[in-house]
Structure 1
Amino acid sequence: MPPGISIGVVGGGAAAVCLIDALARTEGDPGSLTVFEPSPHLWRGRAYQVDSETLRVNATPDDMSVRAGDLGHFERWLETRDRVTGVASGVDRISGARFAPRPQYGEYLEESAYAALGELRRRGWRVDIIGEAVTSAARLPNQVLLRTGPGQSRAFDYVVLSVGGDSPKDVYGLGGTPGFVGDPYPVAGALDDIGENEHVAVIGSGLTAVDIVLSLAARGHQGPVSLLSRRGVLPGVRQRPVHFALRHVTPERIRTTARDRSELAVEDVAAVLRAEFRDAGADLDAVVEEIIRVDLEDPVDRLRRQIEEVDSPQMGMRILQRAVPEAGPDVWPLLREEDKVQILRAHYRTIMSLCCPMPPSSASVLLELVQAGQLEMFSGLLDIVPGEEGGFDVLAADGTEFRADRVISAVNASEGRIPTGALSLVTSLVEARAVARHPHGGLHLARATSRLTSNGRPDPRLYGLGNIAAGALFFTFGIPSLVDRSQDIVHAILEHSSTVEAVRQEATAVAA
């Protein structure tokens, strides 16, 4: 790497940690790294901030390592922590797998970030952390200018946008209404003033909704809890981990399949999947049936059945949960547009519910609450309005009406929606035609390099990491995906900077 190269990173969450760790493990001359993060949750992001230990990551340690090529990095960190504290927290009582508390994972992110920054400084890098939001940007001939306020700007050779996701949507316009919680995190504060006998309605049925229910239960809440959503689809239940490697649904195989054609059809991908399932002795039809029956099966029956299948020897769901995050980013850009539209409209949330499952013990607590009559799940939610005498009136499609004392939003922002805090920055780049919005969300970027594109031309100075790539890629938010994309970005920056330096040296020699 040529001396003096400068990199600006917009966003200081988990994605930035993966990027910085990848950068710290490369060789080359020192440069400068500047990270912009205005929130108080530096390195942790919204998901892993200091909060209740009830909240758990939904993946085992080998899927949570920020270090490329080292799946045991987080697990060793946990083992060290266990020796110090004398407690191994997060061990699932049903499967025996470990799902660490999310605040603990936030500690791991912090320590990993500072260790990587320390390594960069040791090698002579200048590192700056700016606690301000980037409000706009401009593309200069050979740099990108980032502005943080009136008269405040810095120019960088390379810029990576890792702005994270947005806060929950206020679907029913309840913001400001007494008793409404628009953002449940941190739950340690958001749930503090809820009376133990109050009826709590939770909008949503995904992982955030599960967090809220488990947190209420852990606090000894005695009142009824209602999960309200349009479809009533809970996250799937993670089966007991089984170590295996994909043989067919791999980035290399996908690229080979697509080598002689401009795009892939769903049938092409299905053929590769069938080969994977055949070699593993797994039943692909059973997985297809699981996807189809999501909207047909009663959510409680589905929850009970999936808990019973935690120890299933069948590998089908495990293959799906490995294949989607690992090969999804490679498959998605190659698919026909009509297939992408169909998947997003008909199957996206179902696939996400199955590929981002909850720990079995979390599912067990939900079922126990249902059986005790404390937790109910309602699908076909039509409306929620403030009651005339306080509280909220809830109306479901089947005619069910009831009054809730509190309403908590667990509705995740639309995938790929530009976060409110980054909207002015992205808008400035779009208006300057430096980047382009993707019709399925986020920004256009090149799969192989994560370079942001405009009019189909990848920009070697601008990169996107994380949710901002939604639309262009599939499954952008998991740690393994962030690690892979971080490697791509660092490699692309190194390659481009080396090329630029070689051209400069050649020009200097000619001039001499």
Structure 2
Amino acid sequence: MSRGFSIGVVGGGASAVCLIDALARAQGEPGSITVFEPSANLWRGRAYQTDTETLKVNATPDDMSVRAGDHAHFERWLETRDRIVGVRDGVDRWSGARFAPRTVYGEYLEQSAYAALGDLRRQGWQVHLVGEAVTSATRLTDRVVLRTGAGRARAFDYVVLCVGGDSPKDVYGLTGAPGFVGDPYPIADKLRTIESRDHVAIIGSGLTAVDIILSLAAQGHQGKISLLSRRGVLPGVRQKPVPFELRHFTSERIKSIAEQRRELTIDDISAVLRAEFRDSGADLDGVVEEIIRVDLEDPLDRLRRQIDEVDSPHMGLRILQRAVPETGPDVWPVLREEEKVQVLRTHYRTIMSLCCPMPPGSAGVLLELVEESQLAIHPGLQDISAGEDGGFEVLTAMGETFVADKVISAVNASEGKIPTSALPLVTTLMRSGAASRHPHGGLHLARATSRLTVNGRPDPRLYGLGNIAAGSLFFTFGVPSLVDRSMDIVGSILEHAETVTSARAEAVPVSV
């Protein structure tokens, strides 16, 4: 029987690894932790499962550490691995920066998780891994009961929802059609059905689409590749890293301003950003223009220009790419509602394309394929339908039609959408009044603690981490954000547990 409190973690992907590492570092009173993960990708999640090494992490090692306050944690792990395997892979030929294969990052997540669990065991914690899906939850007075599909029930003092994201959407109802691939991962398996001269159409133009194109190129695909989307916006191209620290647009500064007023406007945020840009000698107006011109500039012209700007000395985009994931979660909850709606409707996907850029090497491969007339980008996608005699008929807004042999969906699920696999669990929480849906996606959470909230009241027993917080926070899926929120959650749990323990001690009558 554990001497301390118990924590149930629903989901065993990257967010759970960050949480467990934060808990191990906190050195709190030992209790028990149970992780529920039904898939074979424990600790790796869907994004970092075992796959081809063609797929790269789209950030440098210092942005991928699961260890709070230690940006070099992943980099040191990579250096150790390099010495063992004798290969230093993932170095970008355009920028010299390193973008590790995603399957290698999955190894790092696995080893970090088991190392943290080992630390917890040495501290006296009980650790349990359950390979079952949680299908329902019941909020009792001081506990949360989780039930799995197998019918087993376990009660916990605290529960953290780390349910991850969803698989691609089948927007055009192609499921079941011969030649349609609804979920491209793991790519090494899913592309085996593609013949070398097939005309492959890819729905979507984000990072998943880039993964598919790079993998087709790596396996020597000779047929045409058509990239289909409504806007034709590719991910931005990451510039060569330049070390710097935010001085104005920090969480501490935003929290300080928020203490003085209930809501902030975009003008308030812009004033802080302008100070950041001014002190760095950067041009904020240039970044604003970059955001506005996305739908006005030809996608290939934008790709060429951004490749040419990989070594740019201008810091504007680098500041934006640091500020959004680091400070965005603190800005979003205090921004006026009407301005949140404006950002989501008008600029969200553009900002994400700039703040989640692809490595320059990936962009270079895309451009080479375009110049060889193998890859074509088709914005204005209207419809795709399965042909009666096989193949797929594609229709664009310009009236262009053509036939593809195979279609692969790279359409990401809406940010903040509750994953299909987690819907039964989340539905039971909402029906019982223990959770509430956020109008912008995910669940209502408290900014400072990531506690689930209902009617503005935070629940000290229930927490959300990752995409499930997308409506309440902003940029919830990057590793730096997961690390920061994990620290918030662990701190909140330990503080509440200490308060409960003290209250119980005071309630015990003293024998004379």
Please tell me the TM-score bracket, short chain as reference.
over 0.9
In structure 1, what is the equivalent of residue 290 of structure 2? 290
Q: Which moved more, 1:147-156 or 1:202-211?
A: 147-156
Deviation at 1:496, TM superposition (A): 0.1
Task: Output the amino acid matched with 1:81.
Answer: R
Corresponding residue for residue 480 of structure 2: 480
Matched-pair identity in %: 75
> Partner amino acid for 1:63?
D
Q: How many angstroms does 1:511 deviate by?
A: 8.3
**SS of the counterpart of 1:259?**
helix
Residue aligning to 2:364? 364
Q: How does 1:294-309 map to 2 (within 5 A)?
A: 294-309=294-309
Please give the root-mean-square deviation of Cα atoms over the aligned residues, in Å: 0.9
**Alignment-derived partner of residue 113 in structure 1:** 113
Question: Which amino acid letter does the alignment assign opposite residue 257 of structure 1?
Answer: I
1:250 correspondence with 2:240? no
**Counterparts of 1:108 and 1:216, CA distance in 2:** 26
What SS does structure 2 have at the residue aligned with 1:257?
helix
Give runs of aligned pairs for residues 183-194 of structure 1, distance below 5 A: 183-194=183-194
Deviation at 1:122, TM superposition (A): 1.3
Cα 1:121–1:278 shift into 2, 3 Å = same
| Counterpart check, 1:204 vs 2:200 | no
Q: Deviations over 1:214-260 (max 9, x none)?
A: 00000000000000000000000000000000000000111122221
* Residue in structure 2 matched with residue 95 of structure 1 by the alignment: 95
Secondary structure in 2 matching 1:128: strand
Q: Equivalences for 1:376-455 in 2 at 5 Å? A: 376-455=376-455
Matched residue type, 1:120: L
- Residue 510 of structure 1 deviates from its aligned partner by 6.2
1:85 corresponds in structure 2 to 85
The aligned runs of 1:148-187 (5 Å cut-off) are 148-149=148-149, 151-187=151-187
Please tell me the residue identity of whatever aligns with 1:178.
P
CA separation in 2, counterparts of 1:9 and 1:240?
37
Alignment of 1:320-339 (within 5 A): 320-339=320-339
CA distance in structure 1 between the partners assigned to 2:510 and 2:22 by the alignment: 36
Query: How far did residue 389 of structure 1 move?
Result: 1.2
| Aligned-partner SS, 2:26 | coil
Over residues 79-103 of structure 1, what are the superposed CA-to-partner deviations in whole Å (9 max), with x where a residue is unaligned? 0000111110000001000000000
TM-score, L = length of structure 1: 0.99
1:150 Cα deviation from its structure 2 partner: 5.6
Local SS of the residue matching 2:212: helix
Alignment-derived partner of residue 230 in structure 1: 230
- Tell me how far apart the structure 1 counterparts of residues 204 and 226 of structure 2 sit (CA, whole Å): 10
What per-residue deviation string (whole Å, max 9, x for no partner) do you get for residues 472-505 of structure 1?
0000000000000000000000000000011111
Amino acid corresponding to residue 371 of structure 1 in structure 2:
E
- Residues 320-348 of structure 1 show CA distances to partners (whole Å, capped at 9, x for unaligned) of 00000000000000000000000000000
Distance 1:260 1:84, change over 3 A: same
- Verify the 8 A CA contact 2:206 2:410 in the aligned structure 1: yes
- With over 3 angstroms needed to count, the CA separation of the structure-2 counterparts of 1:144 and 1:93, relative to structure 1, is same
CA distance in 2, matches of 1:511, 1:292: 73
Look up the match of 2:25: 25
How many residues in Structure 1 have an aligned counterpart in Structure 2?
511
- Runs (4+) of structure 1 exceeding 6 A deviation are none
Q: Does 1:217 align with 2:217?
A: yes
SS in 2 for 1:135: strand
Q: Shift of residue 151 of structure 1?
A: 3.9
Distance 1:511 1:423, change over 3 A: farther
Bigger drift between 476-485 and 122-131 goes to 122-131
Q: Which residue of 1 aligns with 2:468?
A: 468
2:240 corresponds to which residue? 240
Deviates more, 1:26-35 or 1:45-54: 26-35
Match of 2:494 in 1: 494
Q: CA deviation at 1:29?
A: 2.5
- Residues 132 and 150 in structure 2, CA contact (< 8 A), matched pair in contact too: no
Which blocks of at least 5 consecutive residues in structure 1 are unaligned?
none
SS at match of 2:22: helix
The letter for the 1-side match of 2:331 is V
- 2:55 — aligned with what? 55
1:193 shift after superposition: 1.7
Alpha-carbon distance between aligned partners in 1 of 2:381 and 2:395, rounded to the nearest angstrom: 6
Task: Look up the equivalent residue of 1:475 and give its one-letter code.
Answer: F
The alpha-carbon distance between structure 1 residues 397 and 337, as it changes in their structure 2 partners (threshold 3 A), is: same
Deviations 1:182-208 (A, max 9, x none): 000000000012110010000000000
Between 381-390 and 2-11, report the one with greater CA deviation. 2-11
Matched residue, 2:75: 75
Tell me if structure 1 keeps the 8 A contact 2:27–2:123: no
Separation of aligned partners in 2, 1:299 and 1:113: 40
Within 1, Cα distance between the matches of 2:509 and 2:109?
45
